[in-house]
Structure 1
Amino acid sequence: MSIAALPRTVRTFARLRVIAQVLSKHGFGHFVERLQLSRYLPSADWLRREKPVEEPEVDPLEAIGARLVRVCEELGPTFIKLGQIASTRPDIFPPQILTALEKLQDDVSPFAAEVARDIFEDDTGITVTKAFKTFTAEPFASGSIAQVHRAVTHDDRQVVVKIKRPGIDQMIQLDMYVLQWMAERAEALFPELRPFRPRMIIEEFAQTIRRELDFINEASATSRFYEAFKDDPNIDTPEVCWELTGASVVTLEYMSGLHLKDALAKADGKSLTPGEMAISRKELARNLSECFLKQFFELGFFHADPHPGNMLVRPPSGVVLFDFGMIGRIDDELVGRLVISIVAIVRKEIDVLIDVLADLGALGRNTDRLALAGDLRQMLEKYYGLPLHRLDLVVIFRELIDTVRRNDVTLPRDFVALFKSLATVSGVVLQIDPELNLLELLQPKISKLLRERFSPNRLLRAFGLSAWHLFSIVRDAPRFIRDTMRGMGRGQFQINIRHENLDHLASELDRSSNRIAFAMLVASTIIGSTMLLSMESDVPVFGVPIRYLGFVGYAITFVMAGGLLIAILRSGKLS
C-alpha cells in the first residue's frame, strides 16, 4: 500500500506527523527513516537526529518493551489497545516485550455526565429518567473506549451502564488507516520484522477493535454465557438488559461478590465477620475448573481473559464471571485439529503433529521441519512418565510457545487464546487449591471428545462428505480443463506478476528527477542573472536598469537553492 492509498486529508497527514514525532522521541528514529516518515517531521534533520535513550543496564528486549509502552501511552487509545492485543500473542513476541505490554492501562479522564446521558438517549431512544430510577452521574470506571455508570431501574434492579466515548469511532478509524499502511510498509521494508507478522497483527487487531466498538457484540457474548450457565447454581454471569442496549450503550445486571484475594483471606473461616459464610477452597477451585472446561469442550466459545480481575467469588464456592470483551471461539474444525494433535502427542507421532500445524497454516517460510520436529520431541520427552499432579500447565504453555516462536510457527489466534486461557485458569486454580490438578479433570473430557470424534457415525459422516468433495472434483474437472483450453486458444490466458517495493523505487526516481530539474533551473537562473549583470546597456525595464534584474535573479536563486539544500538534508541522504 502506497502513501497515495491513505485518505489524503489534513487529519491523516497530521496524525502521521504525530506518530513520526513520538517514535523518534522514544528511540525508534531508524524505524521512521526506513518507513519514509521523516518528511512529516517538522524540524531539519540535524535538529531531529535520534538522541541516545538513557537506559539502565537491562536486557535490550526489556528496554524496547518499556519504550513501546511509552509510545502506546503517548499515541492514545488505538495504540494502547494494539499493545494490549499484542500482549496476548506469546507465540509471536518474546516474553520481555509481553511483560512490558501487559502493564498498559487505558484509564483516562471521564467525559461529562450530560454527554453520557445524550449518547444513551440517542442510541436507545429512551430518556435516562424514563429508563432508570437513579443514574449515578460519576462513573466508577473510565477507559479509552467507554465509561461505566451505576444505575437502578424502575423495577429496582441494580445495573451497570457502559457508554461509548464520543468521537472514538472516528479516531480509531483514522488510526487504523495509518496502522495498516505502516504494517504493510514495515513487512515489505523490514525483513527482520517479518517473523513478527505485522500485517497479521494489525488485521487481527482491526477485527477485534471493530467488535469492541460495537457494543452489540459484547452484549451478545454476555448473553450467550448467561444462557449457558443460568441453570448452574455455582456460576453466575450478568444478564443483558436488551431494551436498554445499543451499538454505543450496553446495560448489564450488576454483579456483586468478593475479589479473589479477599475471598482467599476468608477461606477456611479466617477473617470472617459474624454471620459471614466461609469460603471452601476445594469446591471453589473445582467449580472454576469445571466452568472453563465446559467452555473449552462443550460450548465452543470461552472467556479468553480469565485473570482474577474478571471474576468474583460468592461464598461458599460460587464463581461470578464478567467482562466478556475478549472471547475465543472453537469451531468444529479446530476441535478436530486439537483432537488429532492430542492423539499425536500421546502416540509420539511428531510428524503428524507438524502436519496438523501445516494444515492450520501455522508454518512460516523459514520453518525447518526437521528442527521443529527435534525441538518438539525434546520437549515432549521431558514430560513422558511424569505423574499428572506434577505437570504445570503454565510452564508447559511457556515452553511450547517458546518452541513455536523459535521455529517461525504462528498458531491461529483462537488456538493460542485457548492454551493461554487454560494456563491462566490453571494458575488461578493452583492459587485457590494447590492440591487440585486440572489435568485430572481434563482427562475425562478429552477421552469423551476422542470417543465422539472417532465414533462410527462420525467417521461415516466424514467419509460421506469427503466422497462428495471427490465426486465434485471429478465432475467439474473436464469442464474446468475445457474452459481453460478455450481461454488459451482465444489468447485470454494471462500471467500476473506482483512486484514488491518497486513503488518505493519509482517514488525515489520521481523525487530524484524533480531535484535534478530543480537544480538545472537554479543553475540556469544563476547563468541568466550573471549575464544580465555583465551587460553594459542600461535599458530600463519597468523603470529599472536591466542589469539590476540580475540581483533579483540571484535573490530568487538563493531561496530556491536553500529550499533544495534543506530537502536534501531532511532526506538524510547527503552523501
Structure 2
Amino acid sequence: MYKINLRHTQRFQGIVNAFLKHGFGHILFRLGLTSQTTPKLEGNDMNMQDIGMRLRKTLQDLGPAFIKLGQVASSRRDLIPEQISLELAKLQDHVTPIPYDTVRDIVESELESTLEDLFAYFNKEPLAAASIGQVHVAELHTGEKVAIKVQRPGIRSTIEKDLAILRDLADYLEGNAEWAKSYRLIDMIDEFARSLKDELDYRIEARNCERIAKQFEEDITIHIPAIFPGLSTSKVLTMEMIDGIKVNDLMQLDTKGYDRKVLAARIANSLLHQMFVAGFFHGDPHPGNIYILPGNVVSYLDFGMVGRLSEDMKYHFASLVIHLRSGDTKALLKTFSAMEILSEDTDLRLFKRDIEDLQNRYYDIALTEVSLGEVFLELFQVAYRHHIQVPTEISMLGKAILTSEGLLTELDPDISIMKYVEPFGKQLLAERFAPKRLLEKSWDGMIENLEIISQLPKDLKSIATTIKKGKLQLDINVQQVQIFLNRLDRISNRLSLSIILLSFSILMVGLIVGASIAGQTNMLWNFPVLEIGSIVATLMFLYLIFSIFRSGRM
C-alpha cells in the first residue's frame, strides 16, 4: 500500500475520506491507496456522467488545489472521457468570504500603510469571493475607482501541501501503473503545480495583464485594465475598476443598443491575435472575464491563467487547422510527427484511419456549421485512443477556443470562428516560408551543423571506445523506424545544404580576395566569372531549398 509522508498524514487521510464518501473506495483499493476495498459501483452508478458528478463533488469538497486540478483536467479531452470532462467543467468555488478585519490587516500589512491613507473609500463587502482570494471595490484619493484582489490568509501553505501530496501520488503511480508512466503523470502534475503557484503570486498576474495590454496599445476597441504597481504585491493586486456589462448579459446589451455582431467579431479577432500573432493569450476567456464598455469596446479581466505558444507550436496548430479543413490526412500525420508526440505504442495505420474518419464527418460542410472547438475535441479524443499526449499548450488553446466559441455563438448565432482562424493560419504558414525566414533558418541550421561536425571526431572516438569495451547496446523499435528515417533524412538534407553554402562562401570570398590582391578583373576568357558563379550557386541553393521543402523534411 502507498506510504504517505508523515507531515501530510492528516491531510492525506482527509483526501482519502472524501473519495470514500463519494463512492471511490474500490478504485482507491486497486491503486493501492487503501488497505481494504468497498463495493464496486454498479448499475447506473457506472455511467461516466455519474462518475464525473461524483468526482466533481469530491474535488469541490477538497478545496482550491483540487478544484483547480479538476478545471484543468476538464480541458484535457485527450486524457479524460468527454462525460467526465463536461462535469469537471462545472467546478465552482463555494467559499465563505474573508472577514473585513482580516482583509484590512492583509492590505495594510502588504502595502505598509493604513487603509485610510491608501484609499478615500474602501467597500467592506466583497464584490466577488473565490477559493484563492476575493475582490473589493475602492476609490483612490485621486478619484480613480479600483478593484483590489486580496489573497486568503494561509492559502499558499494549504495549496503547497496539497501539491506535495499530488506529486508523491504521481510518483507512486508512475512506479506502479503503466498507464501513469505512458501519460507522464509526474510531468503533468509538475506543470499544474507551476501554473497554480503562478496564480498565487499576484505580481505575475500583473505582468501578464501588462503584457497583453501592450498587444492592444494601438487598438481602441480592446481595453485591458490598468495596474497600479505601487499598490500591488504578491498578495494584493490593485487594478482599474471596470464598470461595464458582462458579455453574456444579452438583454442588457440589447437594451443599451450594443451591436452583438460587432462584439463577436472583435472578441474573435482579439483572441486569435493573442494566440497566433503574440503567442501569449488569456487562458480562461469565460463570460465572467469579459465585459463590454460604451462604444462596443471589449474589456478582458483576470489574467491569472494564460497560455503561451512558441513559434513552432503556432505553426503546428495552424497546420492542423489548414490540413483538417483541406482534408489532407497525410499532411496531418506529418504535423503530428513534427510535433514529436507520437508514442512507440501508436499504430500509424489505425491512427491514419481514425483521422480519415474524422475528416470525412466534416467533408464539404459549410464553415458556419463547423465548430472548431468541437473538431479539436474530437481530434484530442482520437489522440487519447492512440496513446498520444497532446502538448499542454495545445490543449489549453483548444479549451480557450471552445470556451470563447460558445460565448461568440450566443452573441452572434451565425458566426463561425473557423472563418476567423483560417486567415491567421494562412498568414502563419506564409511567414514560415517567407524567403527571409528561410534564409535565417538556413543560417541557423548551418551554424548548428558546423558545431555538430566539429564534435564529430570526438563522438566517433567515444563510439569506437564503447565498441572496443563491448558495451554498445542497440534498442530498435520497429514502429519507430519510419520516424527515425524521417529524422535522418532531415539531418542529411540540412547537412548537405550547410556544406554547399559553406563551400560557396569560401569559394566566392577566395575569388574576390584573390582578384583584389592581383589587381585583376572578374573576367576570364571574356566571361564574368564571379557573376556567373554567383548565379549558378544561387540557383543550386534555391533548388536545394525547393527539393528539401517539397520532401517535407526541413
- Report the TM-score range of the alignment, normalised by the length of the smaller protein: 0.7 to 0.9
CA distance in 2 between counterparts of 1:13 and 1:81 reads: 22
User: What is residue 280 of structure 1 aligned with on the other side?
Assistant: 259
Deviation at residue 113 of structure 1 after TM alignment: 2.1
Conserved? CA contact 2:110–2:233, under 8 Å = yes
Maintained 8 Å contact 2:267/2:298: yes
CA distance in 1, matches of 2:323, 2:86: 32
Distance 2:426 2:335 in 1: 20
Q: Is the 8 A contact 1:164 1:248 kept in 2?
A: yes
Which of 366, 372, 377 is 2:345 aligned to? 366
Residue equivalent to 1:140: 127
Structure 2 residue corresponding to 1:22, chosen from 18, 25, 32: 18
**Match for residue 573 of structure 1?**
none
Q: Give 1:129 deviation, angstroms.
A: 2.2
Aligned residues: 474
Normalising by structure 2, we get a TM-score of 0.78
Q: Counterparts of 1:439 and 1:343 in 2: how far apart (Å)?
A: 10
2:354 maps to which of 370, 375, 390:
375
Q: Which has the larger radius of gyration?
A: 1
Alignment partners' CA distance in 2, 1:443 and 1:71: 41
Partners of 2:325 and 2:253 lie apart in 1 by 41
Instruction: Name the amino acid aligned to 2:205.
Output: E
The CA distance in 2 between the partners of 1:56 and 1:136, in whole Å, is 52
Residue by residue, what CA displacement relative to the aligned partner does 1:509-556 show, whole Å, maximum 9, x if unpaired? xxxxxxxxxxxxxxxxxxxxxxxxxxxxxxxxxxxxxxxxxxxxxxxx
Q: Does residue 198 in structure 1 map to residue 185 in structure 2?
A: yes
- What amino acid sits opposite 2:59 in the alignment? C
Q: Partner of 1:184 in structure 2?
A: 171
1:171/1:475 CA distance change after superposition, 3 Å: same
Which residue number corresponds to residue 87 of structure 2?
100
| Mapping for residues 230-269 of structure 1, pairs under 5 Å | 230-267=217-254
My pick for the range that moved more, 158-167 or 114-123, is: 114-123
Letter in 1 for 2:18: V
Letter in 2 for 1:161: I
Q: Distance in 1 between matches of 2:416 and 2:88?
A: 30
Amino acid at match of 2:220: P
Change (3 A) 1:102 1:439: closer
User: For residues 173 and 67 of structure 1, do their structure 2 counterparts lie closer, same or farther at Cα, with a shift above 3 Å needed?
Assistant: same
Give the structure 2 partner of residue 545 of structure 1.
none
In structure 2, relative to structure 1, the CA distance for the partners of 1:177 and 1:121 (3 Å cut) is same
- Change in Cα spacing, 1:307 to 1:56, as seen in structure 2 (3 Å) is farther
C-alpha contact 2:110 2:236 (8 A) present in aligned 1: yes
Offset from partner CA, 1:17-73 (integer Å, 9 cap, x none): 22222222322223333444336xxxxx6xxx52566x8836621121122122212
Q: Secondary structure at the match of 2:18?
A: helix
The one-character-per-residue Cα deviations of 1:171-203 (angstroms, maximum 9, x if unpaired) are 111111111111222233344556665334322
Q: Give the aligned partner of residue 544 of structure 2.
A: none
Q: Which residue of 1 aligns with 2:38?
A: 50
Amino acid at match of 1:98: S
Is the contact between residue 86 and residue 201 of structure 1 (CA under 8 Å) also seen in structure 2? no
Task: Please state if 1:467 is matched with 2:471.
Answer: no
Q: Which amino acid aligns with 1:29?
A: G
SS of corresponding position for 1:38: coil
What does residue range 298-377 of structure 1 map to in structure 2 within 5 Å?
298-342=277-321, 344-345=323-324, 348-377=327-356
Q: Which moved more, 1:478-487 or 1:170-179?
A: 478-487
Amino acid of the structure 2 residue aligned with 1:50: T
Comparing 206-215 with 353-362, greater Cα deviation is found at: 353-362
Identity of aligned residues (%): 31
Deviations 1:465-518 (A, max 9, x none): 1121111111112123435666898x89899xxxxxxxxxxxxxxxxxxxxxxx
C-alpha distance in 1 between matches for 2:235 and 2:142: 23
Residue 451 in structure 1 maps to residue 430 in structure 2: yes
Asked if residue 77 in structure 1 is aligned to residue 77 in structure 2, the reply is: no
- Per-residue Cα deviation, 1:374-407 (whole angstroms, up to 9, x for no partner): 1112222333333333323243233222222222
CA shift in 2, pair 1:464/1:347, >3 Å: farther
1:187–1:456 Cα change, 3 Å? same
TM-score by length of 1: 0.76
Match of 2:394 in 1: 415
Show the counterpart of 1:396: 375
Work out the CA distance in 1 between the residues paired with 2:371 and 2:40.
Answer: 42
RMSD: 2.9
CA distance in 1, matches of 2:466, 2:380: 48
Q: Which runs of 5+ in 1 are unaligned?
A: 40-44, 496-575
Runs of 5+ unmatched residues, structure 2: 474-554
Report if aligned partners of 1:225, 1:237 keep a CA contact under 8 Å in 2. yes
Is residue 2:161 matched to residue 1:174? yes
Q: Greater CA deviation, 369-378 or 308-317? A: 308-317
Q: Which residue of 1 aligns with 2:524?
A: none
Do the aligned residues in 1 keep the contact of 2:199 with 2:205 (CA within 8 Å)? yes
Equivalent pair of 2:120/2:141 in contact (CA under 8 Å): yes
2:319–2:425 Cα contact (<8 Å) kept: no
How big is each residue's C-alpha offset from its partner over 1:118-140, in whole Å with a ceiling of 9 and x where there is no partner?
22233333332222111122222
Report if aligned partners of 2:377, 2:398 keep a CA contact under 8 Å in 1: no
